[in-house]
Structure 1
């Protein structure tokens, strides 16, 4: 084969191989994040079961700096997730987090939970007003809430007010499926307590 032809083929296919490699790395990273979130929920479920038995916090893995504090369910979306203590970025990588400045999960105040729009709170884009949400605390008490409002807030202009007793708010970044990270918009799902079991 002619050397010139060989060089042309290598350049042509070299670019294709490079583009394929870049694509695989990008998809691999996205898959890794999704897999980590799913695996973490299994480990968190085990720690949550231990918490329900004895009422004490249990770390899901030895180096964890958080622990399960509740279980969130969205029956209409077939979603069941373990909620972590604290809503730091590190915690949100593994599951939704309880915003510690909001009401404790064992009280009937305004409870706020945060989660990432592309993993654990991705389902929020599909919920509708009137649908139920269930939150089970470490005492095994399940509170059923009804979604009452869906809204978008600008974090630099809007203030999240305490909505009073018997309220639950779920927060995630907005818009869904955006390539921009850490933008100024947040999607809020508000719900009101309808009963305890």
Structure 2
């Protein structure tokens, strides 16, 4: 190969490397936007299913193949957010909205209801809840339960110290650190107790 030919190949190799990097970056950005868009669109469809549930008292899925259905509506007025809570906290369900953890009571009952959500979509704002903020949860019988945030804790997933049989409250749980991209064993938990002045 001549020196001139080698000289022409170097810029081509750099151009190819740059194009591959741009393609990968575009794919990563697109994938991230897709996940967030899917989460937002799902909440619109889940809201429709929730309204049907409130209307007739039966469970309704947002799409025919869904393996979870709305069981509550979670409102965080201080953050200007409301979200439909799904019937389970499987990985598939959490892609579309926060989920109720089986083994814990539903909101409004005795014990601590546990609601989990992904840190990069529905519960990305969880650290915005402060002590004394109000959390409102509506369940299918249309009763609204008000909770007052009493604190937060960072815990190991295997030692969460959430007792589903104690008190009358709710624990909102997401992965920690909130800005991490890899899975980890730590969880960020917001604890809220049922307000004494239920309306």
Q: TM-score band (shorter)?
A: over 0.9
**Gaps spanning 5+ residues in structure 2: where?**
none
Partner of 2:37: 35
Residue 64 of structure 1: which of 50, 66, 71 is its match? 66
Structure 1 position 125, deviation (Å): 1.6
Structure 1 position 106, deviation (Å): 4.9
**Contact 1:141 1:196 (8 Å CA) reproduced:** no
- Change in Cα spacing, 1:164 to 1:176, as seen in structure 2 (3 Å) is same
> 1:134-189: per-residue Cα shift (whole Å, max 9, x none)?
100011111111100100111234532236232111011101111221x1111110
Distance 2:156 2:77 in 1: 29
SS at match of 2:109: coil
- Change in Cα spacing, 1:166 to 1:158, as seen in structure 2 (3 Å) is closer
1:24 equivalenced with 2:26 (yes/no): yes
Distance 1:163 1:174 in 2: 25
TM-score (norm 1): 0.93
**Contact 2:107 2:145 (8 Å CA) reproduced:** no
Structure 1 position 65, deviation (Å): 1.1
SS at match of 1:122: coil
**Contact 2:104 2:165 (8 Å CA) reproduced:** no
1:129 equivalenced with 2:136 (yes/no): no
**Contact 2:107 2:169 (8 Å CA) reproduced:** no
Distance 2:82 2:99 in 1: 14
RMSD: 1.5
Partner of 2:140: 138
SS at match of 1:20: helix
Equivalenced residue count is 195
**Gaps spanning 5+ residues in structure 1: where?**
none
